[in-house]
Structure 1
Amino acid sequence: MAYQLTNGILTVDIAKPGEGYRETRFEWNGLITDITLLDGGHSFCTSENPTQGQGGGMGLCHEFGIKEAIGYQDTKPGEQFPKLGVGLLTRTDEGPYLFYKDYPVQPFKVEIVRESPEEMIFRTLPEECGGYAALLEKKISIDGQRLSIEYSLHNTGQKKLSTEEYCHNFLNINGYSMGPDYRLEFPVNLQPEADDNKTLQELMFDAGKVIWGKIPEREFYFRTGGYDGTREPYLWELSHLPSGAGVREISRLEVSYAAVWGRRYVVSPEIFYRVEAEPGECIKWTRTYEFFSENTK
């Protein structure tokens, strides 16, 4: 644990950039590794591969460009392309970009500002690559039971930045496995789709609810269409019925699409947000999470 935010209600642990996670998929800066609601001692984060030690994502991991990295198609093997929040990656072959591949990386420089015990800023400095460059600022703060992650993306290059951002929320509550004790709810009717129907077999759906009939034995995954999250009270809500603890994302975002991935020890509701910034343009958006228990609703 390198940094911690605390306000007597929540504690939020944040890794030092490049420590604990050094792969090239998720952002290195402002990686939230654990969150605790002090009333009841409820914890909410886990790892992508908790039995394998280091490696893979953990907690709240943000990624830009899961489908296609910025500038990748314009590079040749041996040339660099930018991965927002990570650095300049080197294309290694003629094949397509693969989000799960670990590319050679030249990390971006980052400035870290500790504003108060409840707030800190990670400022990723621009570095030109193929006409692309960006100043990416990420402010993490807590207020009561809420955690906010505010993004400011300033396109300092000559080419338009067009990508998508999401958070791979690696969650469980108090370490309990997924199963009938959990409920995952969305504010809209779900229309689940998957490339492999086997990833849907252990899930049940009731309008906007995802239900587990038993502890899942295999990986599960589905995606569903977008919706106007600015008009909804929350984007998703996960609750653990026996403990009464839960978390909801109350970000005010236009959702391009949503997905859910998980295994027996983790569930990750993912909200995808489209990011478009012309040269010289600065755009901002915020993700907000609210943590609760029976005593704090």
Structure 2
Amino acid sequence: MTGLGRRARNLEELGINMGALHASAPQVHYRPLEPQPGDVFITSWAKSGTTLMQQMFHQIRMVAATGAGDMDFDDISRMTPWEDTAMMVDLDMKMPQRAAPRGFKSHQAYENLPAGGRYIVTLRDPKETYVSFFRFFDGWHIERGSMSLEEFWPLWLGGGPGGCDYFTHLLSWYARRDAPDTLLASYRWAAKNRAAMIARMAAFLGLELDAEQAALVEEMTSREFMHAHHDRFDDGMICRAMEERLGIPDDADSTKVQAVGSDAGVIPPAIAAQIDAMWAQRVLPVTGHPDFANLAATLED
């Protein structure tokens, strides 16, 4: 199967390119994940804080182990590998990691992950994820300007790699908000209260940081620091695979760390109404929370 040799201009073409990318994976280095007790899965939904949590996790464990932070990598997802794309980028999921505990990226619900692990999850307003997801794909997987926010709906609804939709993910993890193996927070709270989130995560991991070490992690997880090092957070491994196997130049701004956050206010009214209707149908009856802000407030005490 061959791709288009260019970025997709619609969802059908995106499927062709992604299918070709998977089909042409060389599998020289790839070995599947073999879970171990105590593994940590950073498993926020797409565009809900995964990259920030990956960086925070990696810097906490490196500072605890070595006394110093670590930016000596090309892609944060090499430090915390992602099983759903590991075959695509020919990545060995069993490779040694630089410090304990082992950590892995995911966007999955609890039921789809190995049992016996520990789970770090941030939740985000669905309308913010919609806009952020669109911004991420526009100009990278999708030719810039070729798809409208309205046309993006099926891609958001499908949930990206792994196929876990937003509402399944949210309900799965909200149900585990008090489980000792789960650290759950809202993305907005974690981003605005990084010092508190760092303290929570370090305690969750059983790692100790002194005040100076915690301040270093806080600095290295700021938007300004991560944006200055945006090439470490741009899915570089996938970009290179797209260039090598699909002929799509590795010249897009695929960074996940934008200088300015996504504004849910730009979402088309028809899309906002569909998201509200799905929340009322799926989330409200289970949680009693009429919207995300109401639900998030219960996690921010």
- Do both proteins adopt the same fold according to a TM-score greater than 0.5, normalized to the shorter chain? no
After TM superposition, the score normalised by the length of structure 1 is 0.25
After TM superposition, the score normalised by the length of structure 2 is 0.25
More strand by share: 1
More helix by share: 2
